A and B are shown apart, each in its own frame.
Chain A
Amino acid sequence: MNLRGVLRTELRLAASQLGSRSGAAGLLIGAMLAAFLVWTFLQSFATLADASVPEAIAVRVFAWVLQLALLGMLVLDLQLAVTRLVAAPELDLLRRAPLAPHQLLGIELVRTLPQSSGMLLTFALPAWIGLTAAYPGMLARSALLPPVLALLWVIALGSGITIALALLRIVPAARLREALGLLATLVVTLSWLAGSFLLPRVDRERGLDAVFAGALPTLPTPPLWSPAQWAAEALTGTGRAWVWLALAAAAAALLAWAAAHRWLDAVQSRAASGPFRAGRLRRFARARTWTTAFLRRDAALLARDWTLAVDIATAGVLWALLPLVLSPVLELPAGALARSMLVLLATGLGYEVAARALPLERHLIAWAALSPVGVRGWVLRRAVGVAALSLPIMLLAGSAIAVSIAPAPEALAHAALLGVGAWALATGIGLATGAIAGDRDWIHPRAMLGLGGRLAASLVAVLQAGGWSAVGWALESPGLGPELAAALAGLAGGALGLALAIRSVQRHDLA
């Protein structure tokens, strides 16, 4: 294999991606996020240094940051790498080329580098900057950071891919893509459960403030066998940690190499052959209106991509339950809790349903420009489709909240009005995000937006959730006037988002 040629092509592809509109937006959002994290870690480690916390304890904190980054990578990024390895569109071409399985594995891993290195770079780099700014004695060792992060990347991806390939080879071929989709939902659910149930209890029992201010010296080191601990030790001086780190990386790479040789081709073949499914034989039936044609088609697509429907339903439940889980910490009254649940669910549906509506079209979207429906009519009907799916979820959640939490009628009306405003705004923004950053060739149900689009959409969803919560607190007064105004503002914002989505699709090359 011409490794240099392959790498050059990949670099060109990456540069062209970054040069695109969504790539540039992703870079911008990524830079903003990085700046925020750098500031956070600078402040945090400066606080430790000011409190004369010894360097060894600060290194321990850094080791925990690496540990969390590694965990995040395993939980969020590994599945993208595995999906790419098994179902990427270019695999058809690559598998016909004279490439050994480990070479193909290498090419696909290089391709996933921007996604799979995100967690490590986003947390480890700012944390190191914070640590060395507060404890300048370690600055000279900064040159060691890139090889350490590279070794951590190899360990996480190598071991993860080995396990994933071993599991995928026993999944029936017809269910392989669905298994990948379900894995995505499972991973999000587990990480949500871990975060939502553990953090509030840590806070209640020990107090995060207390931990940060006074209890740091008692902070345990990460497990000694942990690659993150070896990485922290390797960066801060211990020679033996390098040996463990290098050995673990070599073992992970060897395992991945062996797994690729043994199982990759078989798993890829099964994914490529996929399910052969005939619909039931039936007569030709034309929908009466454009809207019913879209709804009927969407229903068929969701029924067939049922893992996507499961993913949406799960995400909806998790978003709605978030305030309930946090309630022991925040001690929310019933009205505020109901309002927060509805607002968060609405924001979540914008992210989970509306942002996926246009990418779900794949290349059929070209008919928006070809057919009499036109781009405006097409996007409006996508909005109707989003409403048909997300409004019943909102209604169901609203009813469940009203029955289980039983807020006062006026508080429930407040919550409903803000929920409507938040839903309209989130739907408009979601559709616009899908139009601007949607990937028509998506292969992973949680990656229908490009990397930049996902970063931007996450940030916008967090901002919306925060904004609506703040509005809710600010408007807590008798009467419904302010809430009505906020709901109308949300509807107007949603209409603006819809207009932006239409404009974006009109400007895209739909062919």
Chain B
Amino acid sequence: MTDQRPPALAITGLVRRYGTFTAVDALSLTVRAGEIVGFLGANGAGKTTTLRCACGLLQPDAGRVVVAGHDLASAPRAARAALGFVPDRPFVHERLTHREHLEFIAALYDVPAARARERGEALLAQLALTEVADQRLEQASLGMRQKLAVAMAVLHEPALLMLDEPLVGLDPPAARTLKDLLRAHAAAGGGVLVSTHLLEVAERVCDRVVILRRGRVVADGTLTELRGERTGASLEEVFMQHQSPPGATGA
């Protein structure tokens, strides 16, 4: 039986330039519902720019972004309601408490009050934030802010969850919790696009991997597909192979 649900994310021909520099060059990719896609690339490959264009933080120069069937350009409100984004630096206010952030986000996304309360408390507990829930972020560590950013992104149960280097600053138990949370989100039918430099994480958590080089997709498939004939090759070896220009040796 084929999946009738629209893809969680469909990007077509995305272009984003900074002056004369093309950061993202005619990029297309799809994240299906219930799928976790790893987004890999060297520094400056265009991962963050792609994610920011896909969530509406940056205006693309060309291309189309569709979130759960809603075009981000023509139906921005529905598209935004269907996505959650965890940035590399959390968008938080140091004078507000953890709980106040979640309350504010629940209102912004029109999460019904009872559901917001239930889900908010559950996320605070799951991410070990309950004890600090009523403390302001002034003294929160990077890891605590990052965990709050994750809770803010998933509170409204989006169809698509995008994360930009979400494991930076997390301690091992928190990293484990986050990986479980991603799997649970996918198992519940949500799509996940996660950018990371941790290849081990991509290898263990992701159903599919997209590798980016100079703003273009150079590889897209399951680890088995990407290995091709090199059975037993690690993701690191596959990644390094795709970081060299075509025809170059030694990768």
Residue among A277, A278, A300, A367 having the largest count of chain B Cβ atoms under 10 Å: A367
Interface residues of A in 341-385 (CB under 8 A from B): 361-364, 366-367, 369-374
Secondary structure class of chain A's binding surface, majority of residues: loop
Which of A284, A297, A366, A370 is within 8 Å of B99, CB to CB? A284
User: With A and B bound together, what is the CA distance between A285 and B111 in angstroms?
Assistant: 12
Does A289 have its Cβ within 8 Å of any Cβ on chain B?
A: yes
Residues of A contacting B113 with CB < 8 Å? 285-286, 288
The answer to whether A364 and B139 touch across the interface, beta carbons within 8 angstroms, is no
Contacts of A361 in B (CB 8 A): 93
B88-109: contact bitstring with A at CB < 8 Å (1 yes, 0 no)?
0111111111011011111111
Number of interface residues of B (CB under 8 A): 44
Given A370-B85, A371-B80, A372-B77: A286 and B116 within 8 A (CB)?
yes
Q: Is B116 within 8 A of A364, CB to CB?
A: no
B109→A284 contact, CB < 8 A: no
* Residue contact A284 to B102, C-beta cutoff 8 Å: yes
Chain A positions 461-511 with a Cβ under 8 Å from a chain B Cβ:
509-511
**Which among A283, A301, A364 has the highest number of chain B CB atoms within 10 Å?**
A364
B100–A279 touching, CB < 8 Å: yes
Closest to B138 in A: A274
Alpha-carbon distance between A510 and B58 when the two chains are bound, in angstroms: 8
Docked pose: A374 CA to B79 CA in angstroms = 11
Question: B135 to A277, Cβ gap below 8 A?
Answer: yes
Judge whether A310 is part of the interface by a CB distance below 8 angstroms.
no
Q: Are B109 and A371 in contact (CB under 8 A)?
A: yes
Q: Give the total of A residues in contact with B, Cβ under 8 Å.
A: 39
Closest to B51 in A: A511
- Nearest Cβ in chain B — how far from A173, in angstroms? 13
CB-CB < 8 A to A290: which residues of B?
A: 107-108
- List residues 90-137 of chain A with CB under 8 A from any CB of chain B: none
B117 is an interface residue with CB less than 8 A from chain A: yes
Chain B residues positioned under 8 Å from A276 (CB to CB): 135, 138-139
Q: Which residue of B lies closest to A291 (CB)?
A: B107
Report if A366-B87 is in contact (Cβ < 8 Å); known contacts: A286-B117, A371-B109: yes
Instruction: Write out the residue numbers on chain B whose beta carbons fall within 8 Å of the beta carbon of A373.
Output: 108
Which of chain B's residues have a CB closer than 8 A to the CB of A509? 57-58
Verify A284–B121 contact, CB threshold 8 A.
yes
Of B81, B87, B89, B100, the contact of A297 (CB 8 Å cutoff): B100
Report B-chain residues with C-beta under 8 Å of the C-beta of A285.
103, 113, 117
Q: Are B91 and A367 in contact (CB under 8 A)?
A: yes
In whole angstroms, how far apart are the Cα atoms of A297 and B56 in the complex?
24
Quick check: is B190 within 8 A (CB to CB) of the other chain? no
15 A-B pairs besides A305-B95, A364-B93, A370-B57 with CB distance below 8 A are A274-B138, A277-B135, A277-B136, A278-B135, A279-B135, A281-B134, A284-B120, A287-B107, A288-B107, A304-B95, A362-B94, A364-B91, A371-B108, A511-B58, A511-B91
Q: 22 A-B Cβ contacts within 8 A?
A: A279-B100, A282-B99, A282-B134, A284-B99, A285-B117, A286-B103, A286-B111, A286-B116, A300-B100, A301-B95, A304-B95, A362-B94, A363-B90, A363-B91, A363-B92, A363-B93, A364-B93, A370-B56, A370-B85, A372-B80, A372-B109, A511-B52
